[in-house]
Amino acid sequence: METSLFAFATDLHDEGLDTVLGNLQDRAGVEGLTMAVAYHDARDLFPHNPVHKVRYLEGGAVFFSPDEARYEGLQLQPRIAELARAGDPLSDLCVAASDRGMSVNAWAVFLHNDRLGFRHPECATQNAFGDRYLTDLCPSNPEVRAYARACLRHRAL
């Protein structure tokens, strides 16, 4: 059985990629890391983080450098997280983990996205009464499916 722990790109940045991977591999005996590559709004407690004990995550953002050509002509466009504008946390993780013989998985929450839902309410889910749930994109909407497919086609290496 393969083991993996969940982390945010901000965890890797704040603690240091080598420190996190070293702790996972050497201290915990974990074989891989699962990074949130697309995530919704969150306020989380990180007692281990040397920079922020409480952090508000950038909602509806991707933590990788998307290929803009994949989104050409699409109504929905990814919001690149501030951290990913300065580099590519996913690619950096893949290289560093590979050097240690560790695996990398991606945790992607594409459809729980209030930023896109409020901007494009016609793409949000709708209940039986016609009310829109602006925090959730509707997977039956062709624009939403096109956006999700474009996000899923990212290659880290």
- The mean pLDDT of 121-142, rounded to a whole number, is 97
- 73's tokens: 């002509």
Q: Whose CA is closest to 57, among 94, 17, 12, 9? A: 9
pLDDT tens by residue, 20-51: 999 999 999 999 999 999 988 888 888 888 88
Instruction: Yes or no: say if 38 and 66 are a contact pair by the CB < 8 Å rule.
Output: no
pLDDT at res. 153: 83
pLDDT at res. 46: 81
The pLDDT of residue 155 is above 80 = no
Which residues, including other chains, have CB under 8 Å from residue 98's CB and lie 6 or more apart? 104, 157
The pLDDT of residue 53 is above 80 = yes
The pLDDT of residue 4 is above 50 = yes
Q: How many other CB atoms are there within 10 angstroms of residue 28's CB atom?
A: 10
pLDDT band at residue 157 under the 50/70/90 scheme: very low
pLDDT at res. 58: 87
pLDDT tens by residue, 66-123: 988 999 999 999 999 999 999 999 999 999 999 999 999 999 999 999 999 999 999 9
